[in-house]
Amino acid sequence: MSSMVKHLISASMLIIPFSTAVAAQQSDGITWQRGTGGSPAAAPTAQMPQVPAVQYDPSEGQVPAALQRWKMLSASANFSFGEYASFLMRYPDWPNSDEMRKNAEQAINPLSSSPSQVVAFFDRLPPLTNAGRARFAIALDASGDKSRAEAQARAAWRGGALNDDDEARMFRIAGKYFTSADHDARVDRLLWSGSTRGAERWIAYTSPQRRPAFVAALATRLKAPDADQKVQDAGSLANSEASLIAARADSMRSSGNSIGARELLANRANLAAQAPVLKDWYQLLLTHAQAAANDGQYDIAYRIASRVDDATPRGLVMVDQDIATRDRYTSLTWLAGMTAMERLGRPGDAVAMFERYASAAKSAQTRSKGLHFAGKAAAKAGDQASATRYHEQAAAYYESFFGQLSLEQLRRPMPPVPRITPAAPVLAEGDVPAVYLAAALASKYGSWKDQSNFFRAIARNAKDPDDFATAIGLSQKLGRPDLAVMAGRSARSAGISELLGNSYPTVNIPAAHHQTWTLAHAIMRQESQFDRAAESHAGARGLMQLMPGTARETSGKIAMAYRPEALTVDTDYNIALGATYIERMLNYFNGSYPLAIAAYNGGPGNVNKWLKAYGDPRTGSIGMMEWIEKIPLSETRDYVYRVLENAVMYDHLHPERARVRSATPLSTYLGKSSPG
């Protein structure tokens, strides 16, 4: 059993009835409030969701009741702190827990919430919001823990916006200990977020060295008549303080001087201090770098996009940052790398950018893409040894499109794919964490979608091979192959490859469509992850994610009745329509897999527009890889890569059903005569 499993079924996590929640917590020396301000729990208001009463099976323990409670708490931000906290302390790994934690932090009443309850909650679940940090500081101070109160107050002070009352409380608790650096960090954050009133209030407390830049940034944001003079007064800081640079760039752009804003960002000095909000700094750079590239200002675009390192503190590991920060960082390094390699004739500079792109990536797909292009750039720079090394690193991710390309570039075959034979977990209280029991019962006491949400939580929270193996076993026990796909992908991102083969499940394909076996599986793995009831925001439904209009048209062409309700229930029906449609697209585009797959996702009309705009790779007027990269819809572009890589894997795992039999299968699917 994994360490996570052992931890989660420790005595403190045993599932108990909600009716005894207060008593249980009191036994630990904590009295939990049930309503706002410590008063008894109020009756549900009109804003609170009503969940119908459900008759539970006593043999299933307390999880069914917990599921109903989870649905209520997930659906509203109007419960008391105690109600959120009592649930989260027992089920911190259930879906929507982060949103519930944020709601709990907002619901803390600094005047009436029990300090011991608040401290116990945050000791278990650290604050996610700046308001939460402030409430933690207040509770620690009231509990007499002055040292920790000071530390939390400092974190909240540096963390940015607070309401006026919390701001005053933080200053009362620890203001005499705040340094000018703490005030610098606060004002920097407030300026960046547009909280000019708060910045103006504390700007006099900032350090003399940085204050001129803050004053100039504030004047620029407020469009003060002396703003330009204040920028001049800031001297060299005008080109090295992130908040002032951002204020100036935004002002230039809003006044129609986009060229000036780009030149400012391209010619700036190294930042004097790290950017206060990293993701927003990267977004500023990305906006202007993309605009410069679109206007053919490639040198300016490169100089803006490549300057990503001076905004971070030394030692920061980009792959550990939040997804928004990583996404903007990789977008910048990709733009810089492609611009250097393709537009400026500087492949050596491109290598460094593609390396950064790969190192910031969590997924095998993104990491291998960066490594593959680093190999391409190194080869163009004449460094064949480095090119081979990068391709070898990319090829380690052989389930990914660019890993497969690198493997073919190296003239190496696909390796064996590891898989495990997991034992089916015993779904009983005390044997597995409650989240597994909830996942098993969610469709009975909730919905199929609820169960899918629990699967995502299980895959996201798994940490070691045992955890992932338990998830795979659960997927088999419940007949939900989508959990196996989620767990396999999450495991690969965590550096665990032992169960990669388990993340390529198979389903029955109607006999009339056996020739489409590989493509159908490749599409289902990407479209729905084999979730038969999946529905996209756009309205696509079922295993092969068919839009109702496409399903109606396709059913008419093969003399099948159109049954919209069957798209998410009858898997054979969904697969028959999806398989027919992809084969129709293949015929329409003369057997070109990339064009047909792009049409399946983006529509044949769009593909025809792109062929007209960029050239037709079937005629040789443009390379297939270049054409795919030019697809303007990122969803469709990534979709082509993902479906093709899945097709190669399914052919490799099931050679008896392979659509393509070739030593270089990906190149064959691409219609390329040379590998890699």
Question: Would you name the residues annotated as active-site residues?
Answer: 527
What does the alpha-carbon distance between residue 600 and residue 546 come to, in Å, rounded to a whole number? Answer: 9
The percent of the chain in helix, strand and coil, each rounded to the nearest 5, is 65, 0, 35
What are the beta bridge partners of residue 676? none
In terms of Cα–Cα distance, which of 544, 610, 613, 616 is closest to 581?
544
In terms of Cα–Cα distance, which of 558, 527, 557 is closest to 544?
527
Q: What backbone phi and psi angles, to 5 degrees, belong to 39?
A: -75, 165
What tokens appear for 33 in the block?
Answer: 């409030």
Return all residues near 600 (Cβ < 8 A) that are at least 6 apart.
523, 581, 582, 585, 639, 643
Residue 155 CA, distance from chain mean position: 25
What does the alpha-carbon distance between residue 383 and residue 385 come to, in Å, rounded to a whole number? Answer: 6
Q: Under a CB-based contact definition with an 8 Å cutoff, are residues 216 and 246 in contact?
A: no
- DSSP letter for 226, please: T
What does the alpha-carbon distance between residue 488 and residue 494 come to, in Å, rounded to a whole number? Answer: 10
Match 């969610």 to its residue by tokens: 442
- DSSP letter for 657, please: G
How many H helices and E strands in the chain?
34, 0
Per-residue CA distances from 44 to 69, 73, 93, 106, 113 (Å): 13, 11, 25, 18, 20
Orientation of helix 364-380 relative to helix 323-338, angle to 10°: 20
What does the alpha-carbon distance between residue 619 and residue 615 come to, in Å, rounded to a whole number? Answer: 8
Per this entry, what is the length of the chain? 676
What are the beta bridge partners of residue 433? none
CB atoms within 10 A of CB 117: 22
Return all residues near 449 (Cβ < 8 A) that are at least 6 apart.
533
What are the beta bridge partners of residue 535? 541
> Environment class of residue 443 by beta-carbon count within 10 Å: exposed (0-12), middle (13-18) or buried (19+)?
middle
43-79 burial by CB neighbour count: b if 16+ within 10 A, else e?
eeeeebeebeeeebeeebbbbbbbbbbbbbbbeeebb
What does the alpha-carbon distance between residue 518 and residue 654 come to, in Å, rounded to a whole number? Answer: 9
Return the half-sphere exposure (C-beta side, CA atoms, 13 A cut-off) of residue 383: 16
Match 């069914």 to its residue by tokens: 64
CB atoms within 10 A of CB 543: 30
Q: Under a CB-based contact definition with an 8 Å cutoff, are residues 262 and 292 in contact?
A: yes
What does the alpha-carbon distance between residue 486 and residue 451 come to, in Å, rounded to a whole number? Answer: 13
What does the alpha-carbon distance between residue 92 and residue 95 come to, in Å, rounded to a whole number? Answer: 9
What does the alpha-carbon distance between residue 63 and residue 230 come to, in Å, rounded to a whole number? Answer: 62
Q: Under a CB-based contact definition with an 8 Å cutoff, are residues 505 and 493 in contact?
A: no
